[in-house]
Amino acid sequence: MEDLRGMKCVACDRDAPRATAEEIEALSAEIPDWNIIPRDEIDRLEGVFAVPDFVEAMAFTNRVGELAEEEGHHPALLTEWGRVTVTWWTHKIRGLHRNDFIMAAKTDQLFAGERAAE
């Protein structure tokens, strides 16, 4: 399987298929720190990123926002002192799509790059 970090999101419409249980299992192996959280009857990928303070939380939130704009796929972001919670799901299909796993992997890559630069 191609590395999710190198993939691009594809535009999907309301008829796009949700990820199957088998796909979710395989794709989840590439993003082991993410959890699947059902909320409002919609499965979502949720990752929590620890940062030193609120300034860093805001900076990381903004970088995730820039990544989302580049890919045309947008998460829910919760910014708090010392952490950022990023939640990916595909609104149009009310569930998980390969795009969500791609973006989770890219979010991990973004965070790892920032920690390496410190």
The CATH number given to whatever domain includes residue 86 is 3.30.1360.20
The arithmetic mean of pLDDT across residues 32-61, rounded, is: 97
The residue among 39, 36, 32 whose CA lies nearest residue 4 is: 32
Does residue 14 surpass a pLDDT of 90? Answer: no
pLDDT of residue 114: 65
The arithmetic mean of pLDDT across residues 7-14, rounded, is: 80
Q: Residue 43: inside a domain, yes or no?
A: yes
Q: Lowest mean pLDDT: which of 10-14, 43-47, 109-113?
A: 10-14
Q: How many structural domains is the chain composed of? A: 1
Q: What is the largest CA-CA distance in the chain?
A: 43
Q: Residue 8: inside a domain, yes or no?
A: no
Q: Residue 5: inside a domain, yes or no?
A: no
Domain that holds residue 68: 19-117
Assign 6 a pLDDT band (cuts: 50, 70, 90). Answer: confident
Q: Residue 37: inside a domain, yes or no?
A: yes
Q: Residue 26: inside a domain, yes or no?
A: yes
The residue among 84, 110, 106 whose CA lies nearest residue 98 is: 106
